[in-house]
Amino acid sequence: MLTRKQRDILTLLIRHVEQHGVAPSFDELCDAAGLKSKSGIHRLMSGLEERGYIARLHNRARAVSILRHIDGSDYTENRPNPNTATTQDSAKAIYEDVVEIPLLGKIAAGSPITALSDHSNLMTVPQYMIGRGEYFALTIEGDSMIDAGILDGDTVLIERSDTAQTGEIVVALIDHEEATLKRLRRKAHSIALEPANSRYETRIFGPDQVKIQGKLKGLIRQY
């Protein structure tokens, strides 16, 4: 069963396709739904995908297809657009800008692990999830940040930066050898790397022991 907001978004998708022959952009969905953040649209779209009402076309960049009507019946549309990527004859696609960023490997949300250096893999992410800076992605290993909503197996999107404000979640390189994802706390002449799980202790370092490599800007979770 769909939530009210999911039904609203699916209604907007179908209505726009039937009125204009093409699916709306994420910006148009935000405006039509009265939402301020594209991340809210992203969550609703993910929920529709999980329930089989839409499908992401992972083999075709920037496309998502409408598969079912609100009542659960197969989606049909009498004006197929030959320029629209589909997974079935009647499907319509929603396009969004995407970018490729390096997927550098695993980062510990627990005990620190080896510093990150693998630039051989790339992953595609929606442009709206990142800004204009330089970004990279990491796969979380461990549970020390679960109270911040960061789970083992999640993929985090990191903006490269060598500075951060106290309270921000950062990728920290410790003693030029080990990398970890923690909340940064500056305390006088020391730096604290703080977990978000009471099972783990905050670690304190001298300022010359910790190098900030980036700041957390987004998260992707697969079910």
Question: Which residue has better confidence, 94 or 41?
Answer: 41
Catalytic residue status for 144: yes
Measured CA to CA, the distance from residue 80 to residue 6 in angstroms comes to: 24
The predicted structure's pLDDT at residue 81: 41
Least confident of 75-79, 99-103, 173-177, 213-217: 75-79
Question: Which residue has better confidence, 218 or 127?
Answer: 218
pLDDT, tens digit (0-9, with 9 covering 90-100), for 140-178: 999 999 999 999 999 999 999 999 999 999 999 999 888
pLDDT, tens digit (0-9, with 9 covering 90-100), for 55-90: 765 544 345 678 888 888 888 754 444 333 343 333
Please answer whether residues 30 and 66 qualify as being in contact, where contact means their C-beta atoms are separated by less than 8 angstroms: no
Average pLDDT over residues 105-124: 69
Catalytic, out of 38, 65, 92, 182: 182
Whether the per-residue pLDDT at 107 is higher than 90: the answer is: no
Measured CA to CA, the distance from residue 105 to residue 164 in angstroms comes to: 22
Catalytic, out of 111, 144, 187, 217: 144
Q: Give, to the nearest 10 degrees, the angle between helix 26-33 and helix 4-20.
A: 120
Average pLDDT over residues 102-128: 72
Please answer whether residues 216 and 158 qualify as being in contact, where contact means their C-beta atoms are separated by less than 8 angstroms: yes
Domain 1-96 has CATH 3.40.309.10: no
Domains of the chain by residue range? 1-96, 98-220
The predicted structure's pLDDT at residue 116: 59
Question: Which residue has better confidence, 189 or 115?
Answer: 189
Across all residues in the chain, what is the average pLDDT? 79
Catalytic residue status for 182: yes
Domain 98-220 has CATH 2.10.109.10: yes
Measured CA to CA, the distance from residue 27 to residue 22 in angstroms comes to: 14
Question: Which residue has better confidence, 138 or 15?
Answer: 138
DSSP 63-87: -EEE-B-TTSPBP--SS--TTS--S
pLDDT, tens digit (0-9, with 9 covering 90-100), for 181-209: 999 999 888 999 999 999 999 999 998 99
